[in-house]
C-alpha cells in the first residue's frame, strides 16, 4: 500500500504534560499544599508539509502525549491495520474520532526549542497521515492571526527537515516536512536563557571532558579509533533557577569512511550527556552511551532533543526527545527531578 523511497524518520516528538488534580477532594488539598497548581495538557508535533508536486503547504498536529490527572499517557492513535484493509480516510476518521484526544478541536500553540510561542494552530477536522509504514490520526486546521503556513514552514528549523516520497493509496506523493513542538497549554512568556561566549566555552570543555570519560566506560569504546568530538550543544534553564542545564551530543568515530568489510565491528560511539551547574563543578543529570555498527551519518539523529516545554504546568520545563531507531521512532518526556533528568513518558511510536 505504501512504498517509501526514503525513510529517515518522519516527524518529531512531542510530549504532553500537565498535571492534573485527581479529584475535587484532592484538589483542595493540592491547592493548600502547592503554590504551583498543575494543569492538564496535550503535547504534540506541529508539522508543516510542503507538497513538492504542487508547492502547496499544510499544517498538521500529531498528538504525542496527554497529561491528565497527574499522569502522562500516549495521545497517538494508530490506524495502520484499518488503512491496510483499504478503508477510506473519511470512514476511518468517523470510526475513531471519539477515541481521539483531538476530537474536541483543541487549539495548539507551536513553540520553538526554548518553549516560546511561534503561533496558534486551531484544529477543525481529523485526518490520517502516513508516518513511515504507520497510518496515524492527526489534526488538520488553520493558523490563527496573521501567520500563514508557508511563512511558518520557512521559520521552522531546517535541521529536522524530512523528505518523504512514494505512493500512498495509488497516489504519488513527494513531501518535505518541518516540525516543532506544540502544546494546548503553554506559559505566555518564557525568559530566554542567556549565556556568554566564555560560559559556552566552559560548557564545551566540560562536555568533552565528561563525555570522553563516559564513553571510555563502555567496553566497546577501545575498538573504536579516533578522538571524541562535540557534535551539538544546547543550553536550557529547565527549572528557571538561573543555573543552566546543558545538553551535549558527543561522538567517537574514525575519520575514514566505513567500508563493507568492517561493518561487523562497532563503527562509532555516541554519548548524550546532560550537565547541571547548581554547584561550581558540573554534575551529570543524565548520560546515555550507545555503540553503533552503522556509519555515523545514519545514527547522528538517533537521540534528538526537540526542545523544552512545560508539559505539566508546574513552572519547570520538561525535555522532549525523539528516539530514532532503525525501523521505529518514538518520543520521550524527561523531567528534571533533583539532580537527575528522568524519563516520565515514552510512546507515540511508529515505524516499519
| Binding residues vs Ca ion (CB under 5 A) | 237, 239, 241, 243, 310, 312, 314, 316
Closest separation between CB of residue 314 and Ca ion, Å?
4
Radius of gyration of the chain, Cα coordinates, nearest whole angstrom: 21
Closest separation between CB of residue 271 and Ca ion, Å?
21
What does residue 309 show for φ and ψ, rounded to 5 degrees?
Answer: -155, 145
Select from 151, 173, 152 the least CA-distant residue to 164: 173
Closest separation between CB of residue 160 and Ca ion, Å?
23
Return the number of the residue (299 or 320) whose C-beta is nearest Ca ion.
320
Cα 321 from Cα 312, distance rounded (Å): 16
Return the number of the residue (214 or 314) whose C-beta is nearest Ca ion.
314
Return the number of the residue (60 or 318) whose C-beta is nearest Ca ion.
318
Return the number of the residue (186 or 210) whose C-beta is nearest Ca ion.
186
**For residue 213, with 0-12 CB atoms within 10 Å meaning exposed, 13-18 middle and 19 or more buried, which class applies?**
middle
- CB contact set of 82 (below 8 Å; sequence gap of 6+): 92, 95, 96, 135
Mark 114-133 as b/e (b = at least 16 C-beta within 10 Å).
Answer: bbbbbbbbebeebbbbbbbb
Return the number of the residue (146 or 281) whose C-beta is nearest Ca ion.
281
Return the number of the residue (214 or 335) whose C-beta is nearest Ca ion.
335
Closest separation between CB of residue 96 and Ca ion, Å?
30
Cα 214 from Cα 203, distance rounded (Å): 16
Closest separation between CB of residue 338 and Ca ion, Å?
12
- CB contact set of 236 (below 8 Å; sequence gap of 6+): 114, 193, 244, 245, 246, 247, 308, 317, 319
What sign results for the dihedral spanned by CA atoms 310, 334, 74, 271? positive
Closest separation between CB of residue 74 and Ca ion, Å?
19
Amino acid at each position: 500500500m505504501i512504498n517509501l523511497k526514503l525513510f529517515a524518520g518522519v516527524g518529531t516528538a512531542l510530549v504532553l504534560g500537565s498535571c492534573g488534580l485527581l479529584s475535587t477532594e484532592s484538589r483542595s488539598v493540592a491547592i493548600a499544599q502547592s503554590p504551583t497548581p498543575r494543569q492538564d495538557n496535550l503535547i504534540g508535533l506541529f508539522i508543516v508539509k510542503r507538497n513538492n508536486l504542487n508547492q502547496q503547504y499544510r499544517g498538521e498536529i500529531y498528538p504525542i502525549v496527554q497529561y491528565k490527572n497527574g499522569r502522562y499517557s500516549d495521545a497517538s492513535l494508530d490506524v495502520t491495520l484499518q488503512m491496510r484493509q483499504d478503508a477510506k480516510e473519511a470512514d476511518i476518521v468517523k470510526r475513531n474520532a471519539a477515541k481521539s484526544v483531538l476530537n474536541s478541536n483543541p487549539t495548539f500553540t507551536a513553540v520553538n526549542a526554548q518553549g516560546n510561542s511561534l503561533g496558534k494552530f486551531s484544529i477543525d477536522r481529523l485526518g490520517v497521515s502516513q508516518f513511515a509504514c504507520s497510518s496515524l490520526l492527526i489534526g488538520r486546521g488553520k493558523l490563527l492571526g496573521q501567520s500563514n503556513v508557508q511563512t511558518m514552514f520557512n521559520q521552522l528549523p531546517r535541521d529536522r527537515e524530512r523528505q518523504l516520497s512514494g505512493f500512498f493509496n495509488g497516489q504519488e506523493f513527494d513531501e518535505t516536512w518541518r516540525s516543532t513542538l506544540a502544546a494546548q497549554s503553554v506559559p505566555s512568556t518564557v525568559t530566554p536563557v542567556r549565556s556568554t561566549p566564555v560560559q559556552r566555552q566552559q560548557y564545551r570543555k566540560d562536555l568533552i571532558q565528561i563525555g570522553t570519560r563516559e564513553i571510555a566506560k563502555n567496553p566497546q569504546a577501545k575498538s573504536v579509533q579516533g578522538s571524541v568530538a562535540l557534535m551539538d550543544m544546547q543550553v536550557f534553564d529547565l527549572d528557571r533557577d538561573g543555573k543552566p542545564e546543558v545538553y551535549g551530543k558527543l561522538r567517537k568515530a574514525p575519520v575514514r569512511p566505513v567500508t563493507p568489510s568492517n561493518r561487523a565491528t562497532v563503527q562509532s560511539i555516541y554519548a548524550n550527556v546532560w550537565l547541571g551547574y547548581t554547584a561550581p563543578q558540573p554534575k551529570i543529570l543524565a548520560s546515555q552511551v550507545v555503540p553503533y555498527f552503522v556509519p555515523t551519518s545514519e545514527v547522528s539523529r538517533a537521540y534528538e532533543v526537540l526542545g523544552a516545554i512545560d508539559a505539566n504546568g508546574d513552572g519547570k520545563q520538561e525535555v522532549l526527545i525523539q528516539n530514532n531507531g532503525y525501523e521505529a521512532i518514538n518520543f520521550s518526556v524527561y523531567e528534571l527531578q533533583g539532580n537527575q533528568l528522568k524519563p516520565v513518558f515514552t510512546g507515540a511510536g511508529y515505524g516499519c
